[in-house]
Each structure stands twice: as structure tokens, then as C-alpha cells.
Structure 1
Amino acid sequence: MTERPQTPPGWYPDARGELRYWDGATWTDYTARNYPYPSTGGHASGSRISAPGARSRKRWSRRWEFWLVAACAVALGLNAIDMAASPTTNDDGTAQTAAAVDPTQPADHTEPTDEPTQTPETKPTAAKVTVLFMTDQKDGDSWVASDGKEYRLGLVNTPEMNEQCGPEAATFTRKFLSKGFTADAYSSDTHGRVVAEVRDKRGRSLNVSLAKNGLGDARYLEEFRHENADLGRRLDRAFASASRPACRKPAAKPVPLAPKPRKTKAPSSNCMSGYSPCLPIVGDLDCGEIGHPVTVTGSDPYRLDADGDGIGCD
């Protein structure tokens, strides 16, 4: 029995008459219409259209650029593996082996949890401010505070309580600090008082406010300006635009009353001095001649007051 010879792979007309590639065992999906490579001859069985596998291998084998890039990638991969396996040295000279790190994750990456972790918020710590209160006022620029210290306003002076505008300055200061104050102390005076710029709870400077309202003067400004130059500059501007307060004049000091001298009537020209009522001026006179009592107001030249009780001829 003669075996039927096997048809070699190639392009042949199929049952529909369309040129299709035969792989030696069965028909493929490649036809003359969908085959991507051009033919070099007719569509007969001996056509020079290359087989799909053969053309593909030939085209990839000619792409030397692809093989060059592939070789470089392999070389870089081998170098990275070698560096990962080699120990590195720390700053202190100890060996350290590099660990595999996922470049997509941060260094401190941790496994996710069911609930998000809340990072505690760090709030800046505010400096502690001590609020003081006036306990014993001396005048408009000095007082004893709740911390037991006596404070004196720096670079501004107010009148004494018995001077003009002294009571008004003291009242202004007392109301200004009624809700408490803070003191920026920078010196002390010869009386042991704390010299400071004092501010109310709203941050307003009492030193500057007294100057602006005309209730303070610059008596000590130039002498002690060097102790607080910034305050001195602000006081300069305040004094330059100060208003004139309507202060009452201080009450006059009471004058002690002296007893009024007792008025005495001048003796009549014909009456003896030292007697009331009038007795005539004679060489001598006795009670029998007078006939009534008399008040002795002088030296009793007639010797009428024998018992010295101020009444003669009684």
C-alpha cells in the first residue's frame, strides 16, 4: 500500500479558493489578506511569501538595538545584586549589610492598621504671665502690688497728691489697672522700688497713656532714658501730642486762726485810768466819796480793791 505523500508547509488555496498558509499538518489563520508581510511572488504554492515563524524570527534577529539594551539591563541587574550582597561600612568603622528596601515605601513604613493612627498635635508652650493687682496706692506713678513689691513707673512722673492734677493722675492709674496688670521691670530706684513699664490686661502701656493724657511729665526722662531707650522714644511722641487735662486747683492750706486781741476803750481825758465806770482824776479818792462799787481794770491808783478780787468799794 502506497502512503500519500505529506504536503510540505507553504501557501496554498484553501477550500474557498483563498490563499492560506499550511503548516504541514493543518491550516493556519494566516491568509494573503491578513498576513502582515508582503509577498515576493504570485499566490501559488511556490510563492515566496515567508512563513510566519520564519519571518518573525528573522526580523527580531536583525534588531541589534533590542539585544544591546537587553545586555545592558542584565549587566546593571548583576551589579545591583553584587552591591546588595557586599557589606558597607558605617562612620564608626563597623560593617553593615544592606537590607532589601522597597523604594515605594518610606523608611519608617509600618503595616497599616484597621484604624488610622492619630499623631498627637504639639502645641507651643506659652510663657507664663503673672497678673498683679494694686493693693496700696501712693500716687499716680507708684503703688504696692499683690506680690508685695512697690512699683514705680519708669521715665514718667505724675504730680504729688497735694499738687495740681495729682488726684486726677492717681484716679486715672487706679481705673487703668483695675482688672490687673503686668510689669516689664528693668531697674530699681534708690527707694528700693521696682522700676517698670506697666501694662493693663489689654496690653496698653500706663506710662505712655499718662503722658498722652497730660497727667504725667518728663521730669526724669532724660536722666534715665538710657535704662529703656525704646520706652523713651515712645514717651517722646506721647508728650509731643499730649492733651491738656482739666484738673482742679488744689485747695488752699488752712490758716490757723489766732485769737483776736481784746479791744479796750481809750480812757477819757478827765477819767482816771484803771477804773470802770469813770472816776475823776484827783489827788486821792476813797469809797465814801464814790458811793458805789467800781471795776478795777488797771493798777488801782486809788487803792479801792483792798481784797484784790477786781472789784473796788464792794
Structure 2
Amino acid sequence: MSDGSSADAGWYPDAQGEMRYWDGHAWTAHTASNYIHAQKPVDQVVPASTGLGIGEVVTKPWTKRWQVWLVVACVTFLGIGAIGNATTPDSDSDAQPKPTETVEPAQASEQPATEPTSTPVVLLFMTDQKDGDSWVASDGKEYRLGLVNTPEANEKCGKEAAAFTRKFIASGFEADVYATDTYGRSVAEVFNKEGKSLNVALAKSGLGDDRYLDEFRHENPELALELDSAFLDSSVHDCKTTAAPVPLVEKPAKTTAPKSDCMAGYSPCLPIRADMNCPEIGHPVTVTGSDPYRLDRDGDGTGCD
């Protein structure tokens, strides 16, 4: 600028409106299009050579400044690119939405589930009764009730105890065997079809006693405690107040002493002699002793037959 312009060095719009560098004295060849460091002021003091006069302010509407539109376009382009990158999947596999993994419940079996069933109980039955506390069962074993005792069959209340046991297990029984006695019998607590204990029932009825309870308590402590309570609550059975039953085995009839004039060992009476023969006697005799007359030749107990 040779006219003595006082404008400072800087970037100013030239006569064509392009930003050009003013070095403080004259315009240079550097324009905004070929120099990346060009400044883009909105309002600049224009050198005098532009025809507008030094010191005048060039004021253009911001919408007509191409630099503004260039910046807006760049920002818009970059913004669209950033949005596209954020929304565009990286690969085809990412384009497809990933299904939510769910844990499928186990497929039901084709066959309907069956509830577990308990093992069927096989009941035993009495086949040969010995007395109220022992018998042979349908499995071939002989059972003895544990820790409770009943009278023998020929003793007082033995018949009633045997009948009580038969009736109690008439529909079958289960045996909880826990020992074997010296006779090889299975010692057990016996339950009827309804699950009731025969051992305890006999104790409560008054037909059973505790003869062996203390001696063998250690073999089944739980049953022993139940029997302790049962014996305390036991009743007196009617059979204990009645007359003793007739024994099963009859006592032999008493024999009378032979007469003083009869030979011992014969019936009917034979006279006492040194010897006698069958022809003299004339009838059969029963030999009950040593047969001093040797009348029973064949040893069948009858002489002179």
C-alpha cells in the first residue's frame, strides 16, 4: 500500500472479496485459498487500495460469508459421519439382533412321571401254634415273641393266651426279627395287619408277663420301654380268677396192691404157687410184672392167649 495506509499487517478481504494477507505496506500473493494460516475475521479494517478507504470497516451479512458456510458444511458433514458410525453395524453379524438366551426347562419325558411306590408288604400267617408266644409261620420259620411271656398251653390262662394271639394276627402279620434264641426261633416284635404290636397287646391284656424282660432288655431297648408302660397299665384277665384247666395229659390211674394170696405180676389174680401152666389157668391173663410163671411166651403182655 503506497498511499501511506496505516493498516496493520493481517488478513483482509481484497477488492474481489477474497481474504488476502496485507503485510502492513502492500497486498501479498497469499490468499485464504492457498494459505492455510489465513485469518477469517468477521470485521476487518480494509486497506486503502481496495477502494474502500483505509480504516473503513467491511461489514457483510454473516450469511453471505463463504467462510462461515464452509465451516458449517464441515461441521455438518462430520456430525452426519459420526451419527452414521454410531448407528451402522460393524458387520453383518452385528446387524442382526442377538436373541436373548433363555434357559429352557427340561423337556417332559414322553412317559408320565410315576410317583415312587413303596415295596408291598408280604404278610405271614400262622400255620402251627405252640402257645400264646410262639408258633410256626407260613414262611416255615418258628417265631417267638420278644420280651413278653405267656403261659404254656397246659398252664393256667395258656388257652386264653393262645386264643388271643390267634385272633390278633388272624389277617396276617409282620415280624421285626432282632435275635435268635437257643432253640433257633426268630425272636421278634410282631405286628398285625393294622400295624399294632402283639407283644404290647399281650402285656396290656394281662395274659403276658415280664418273666424275660429284664434278662433280655438289652436286645431291644425300645420295645422294652414300651412293655414297661404296658405292664403298668395291664389288667387282670378273667382266666386268672377261674379254676385251673384240666391238664392235657391224664395222670395214670392208681393201682391197688395185690392181695396177699395173689401172685404179683398178673391180672386177674393168680394163686401163689411154685409154678402154674396155662391149661391149669384156662383163660388169658395180663402180665403186669416179671411173669414168674412164664405165661407170656411171645412177649405181647398177655399170657395164655
Q: TM-score, normalised by structure 1?
A: 0.48
| Structure having the higher Rg | 2
Q: TM-score, normalised by structure 2?
A: 0.49
